Amino acid sequence: MKQTFIALALLAALLPTAHAGRSCESRPLTAATLERGLTLAQRTSDALDAEHARSGARVVVLARAGQDLSQYRLRYSHLGWAYKTPEGPWRVVHKLNQCGTAVGALYRQGLGEFFLDDLWRHEASWLVPAPALQAPLLAALNDPERPRALHTRDYNMLSYPWSTRYQQSNQWGIELLAAAAEPQVRAREQAQAWLRFKGYQPTTLRLSAFTRLGARVGTAHIAFDDHPNEKRFADRIETVTVDSVWDWMPATGLSGPVQRLVL
């Protein structure tokens, strides 16, 4: 298994840089970084295999800590949907932003690629969706088209959760959950209505006008024009975070408790 992780990680190092929930700075991939990332991937795979053997779960929502977000009281930066393939290995479907652009795309990767890079903290966390959600989520993730059905190319790291103008990675993740859970959901507006009905509450970040201006001018993948004026001008920026999803899913019975693995 570790040889497979190494091969995938080396291949990923040669691909164009994409990121979500981690720094977009260009840093060399050191042997130590590679080893720690692969070790985290291997241990996560072992833990997920143990969960599968215990409960039969084949789908989890998986998070990583790619950036230091402690100033916002956030622990994790990015989530994706991990599913167990018939061949055995776990794969992850998630949305990534192409560095330096306002464009996002969906990727299907192994755990080694998911945890590759200079992570802020070598920690994995996951939720096991409720048994009733396992089959529809697995069907959606195995379908090459369904993950793209609610995908919006225009990327905004701080996109407003109740708008369809942009879409960030974690937002795509929970909108896919809505589509899998409710077959009648065919559009993003419907997915967001389902999320509201299920009581999802986004994270509110307190960002001053000065901070917003600096972020908008300095980065292509941050915008605020999809946020309501009454909230934006009150320095209240609402967005989808892993931590808000981690609070919401267990509390509403959509998943089991939060699980963590720390190196």
Amino acid, single-letter form, for residue 191: A
| 44, 109, 57, 144: CA torsion to nearest 10 | 180
Per-residue pLDDT tens digits for 114-139: 998 669 999 999 999 999 999 999 99
Reduce the DSSP state of residue 45 to 3 states and report it: helix
Taking the alpha carbons at both ends of the chain, their separation in whole angstroms is 19
Rounded CA separation 195/90 (Å): 27
**Whole-prediction pTM:** 0.89
Domains of the chain, by residue range, sit at 2-262
List, in sequence order, every beta strand (DSSP E) within 194-255.
203-206, 236-239
DSSP state of 21: S
For the residues 22-45, what does the mean pLDDT come to?
82
What are phi and psi for residue 257, nearest 5 degrees? -70, 165
Exposure class string for 191-201: b at 16+ Cβ within 10 A, else e = bbebbeebebe
d(CA 196, CA 61): 19
Q: What is the mean pLDDT of residues 99-117?
A: 92
Q: How far apart, in whole angstroms, are the C-alpha atoms of residue 209 and residue 96? A: 27
> How does pLDDT run across 147-183, given as a tens digit for each residue?
999 999 999 999 999 999 999 999 999 999 999 999 9
* pLDDT over 50 at 14, yes or no: no
